[in-house]
Amino acid sequence: MKKTGKAAPKKQAAKTTTKKPAAAKTPDAVPPKTDAAPLDLATLRERIDGIDRHIQELIGERAQFANQVGKAKGKLAAAVDYYRPEREAQVLRRVVDRNDGPLNDEVLVRLFREIMSACLAQQEPLKIGYLGPEGTHSQQAVYKHFGHSIHGLPLASIEEVFQEVEAGHADFGVVPVENSTQGTIQSTLDMFLTSKLKICGEVELRVHQHLLSRNGQIEGIERVYSHPQSFAQCKAWLRQYLPRAEKIPVSSNAEAARRARSADDSAAIAGISAANVYGLKSVAGPIEDRPDNTTRFLVIGRELFPPSGNDRTSLMIFIKDQPGALYHVLEPFAKHGLSMNRIESRPGHTGLWQYAFFIDIGGHVHEEAMRRALDELADYAQEVKVLGSYPVAIA
């Protein structure tokens, strides 16, 4: 959101107990007009100093209560046992509901996530595995979901992220599962064919790609490194501006940035955070062909968490080889008022031409409607695996 730069101060410590009208949610909402003369700079800063003192006291107080909540949970073994994604989702939804501007929902959710992240890290920071190296969009997704008070473990592959969580070396993992421009990341879905891990969260990240190079100049660029997904997201831009440059696919955008830093005639397509990590300059950006380019990531862990009130369930279903089996498998969800957001089939690795259906349904497996639907479809399914029930992504 663009700040308005208007001098009028925000209502001081406004308590908003009622839900705001929809119109007030516009990102560019300006502070209310008053007849009072604008305050001078020194007075404004004095007010800000006062508010900062107040915010700091409240954050300290909140951290103390969070610590007591931790103690009330009893003597638990590790940070992962204190983490409650369903509670975090409820806290953040309330933040969104209360938001009266001028900061937008995304900004406020980010600030509150950081506060909860710091509160939780008082016990011990969570260890989160992701597809590294540092500077990837996966790392950004980790911070968006868990805040910065965590210990990030950059790993070499999606498979390794699963392995490290399974082995208990990481508390959770964050893996990309689909992109709005490029579709499913099949290697992630395939991991669920054999993995026992549960999906315990989802993160949606607007992905902005930049062309990065050592000197920030487009002239003289002979080759471009990037992950194949990122090349595909920037196809039209590359065709227009660098049609003759060699395109070299590598394992991650961060790896592309690492290579581009060693020669002036090379560039990388990567997120802007890779520019900071690898000391590169932005030649152009954002350069993705679709401005709403978004990647959805899954948070994987070892257990299923209780409902948050607005959840999604991911299932993997093998159907019986008989007429109408897929129809009968899907019918109970419609009957019980559960909406299906996504269906995808992948070779099941169980026999020739056998397919696994990956299905996302609104609701949680601990809820009655979902339990009934799962009971009813059992007759037509060879196998049903609940991959997880988790809070729907927030802002």
Binding site for ligand PRE (CB under 6 A): 66, 69-70, 82-84, 87-88, 91, 116, 119-120
Quick one: 64 or 294, whose CB is closer to ligand PRE? 64
Structure token digits, residue 69: 């909540």
Quick one: 150 or 298, whose CB is closer to ligand PRE? 150
Quick one: 88 or 288, whose CB is closer to ligand PRE? 88
Quick one: 5 or 60, whose CB is closer to ligand PRE? 60
User: Exposed, middle or buried, 196 (CB in 10 Å: 0-12/13-18/19+)?
Assistant: exposed
**In whole angstroms, how close is the CB of 150 to ligand PRE at the nearest point?**
12
**In whole angstroms, how close is the CB of 62 to ligand PRE at the nearest point?**
7
**In whole angstroms, how close is the CB of 111 to ligand PRE at the nearest point?**
13
Helix axes of 137-146 and 105-120: crossing angle, nearest 10 degrees: 80
- Reading across the β-sheet that carries 210-213, which strands appear in turn? 246-249, 223-226, 266-270, 210-213, 281-284
Quick one: 93 or 137, whose CB is closer to ligand PRE? 93
Q: Measured between alpha carbons, how far is 382 from 241 in angstroms, rounded to an integer?
A: 51
CB of 92 closer than 8 Å to CB of 113: yes
Q: Measured between alpha carbons, how far is 385 from 333 in angstroms, rounded to an integer?
A: 16
Quick one: 83 or 390, whose CB is closer to ligand PRE? 83
The alpha-helical segments, DSSP class H, found in 179-324 are 186-191, 228-233, 235-241, 253-260, 272-278
**In whole angstroms, how close is the CB of 189 to ligand PRE at the nearest point?**
27
Quick one: 278 or 305, whose CB is closer to ligand PRE? 305
Q: Which residue has the tokens 């996504």?
A: 342
Quick one: 114 or 159, whose CB is closer to ligand PRE? 114
Quick one: 6 or 148, whose CB is closer to ligand PRE? 148
**In whole angstroms, how close is the CB of 138 to ligand PRE at the nearest point?**
21
Q: Measured between alpha carbons, how far is 165 from 321 in angstroms, rounded to an integer?
A: 34
**In whole angstroms, how close is the CB of 61 to ligand PRE at the nearest point?**
12
Quick one: 29 or 91, whose CB is closer to ligand PRE? 91
CB of 216 closer than 8 Å to CB of 239: no
**In whole angstroms, how close is the CB of 87 to ligand PRE at the nearest point?**
4
Beta bridge partners of residue 316, listed in sequence order: 358, 385
**In whole angstroms, how close is the CB of 308 to ligand PRE at the nearest point?**
11
CB burial of 126-144 (b: ≥16 within 10 Å; e: otherwise) equals bbbbbbbbbbbbbbbbbbb
Beta bridge partners of residue 127, listed in sequence order: 151
Quick one: 19 or 73, whose CB is closer to ligand PRE? 73
Q: Please enumerate in sequence order all residues whose Cβ is within 8 A of that of 176, keeping only pairs 6 or more positions apart, or say none.
A: 131, 137, 138, 141, 158, 185, 188, 295, 296, 297
Structure token digits, residue 170: 């990481």
Structure token digits, residue 42: 């020194």
**In whole angstroms, how close is the CB of 340 to ligand PRE at the nearest point?**
29
Beta bridge partners of residue 224, listed in sequence order: 247, 267
Q: Measured between alpha carbons, how far is 128 from 123 in angstroms, rounded to an integer?
A: 15
**In whole angstroms, how close is the CB of 86 to ligand PRE at the nearest point?**
9
Name the residue with the smallest CB distance to ligand PRE.
Answer: 119
**In whole angstroms, how close is the CB of 172 to ligand PRE at the nearest point?**
12
Beta bridge partners of residue 172, listed in sequence order: 128
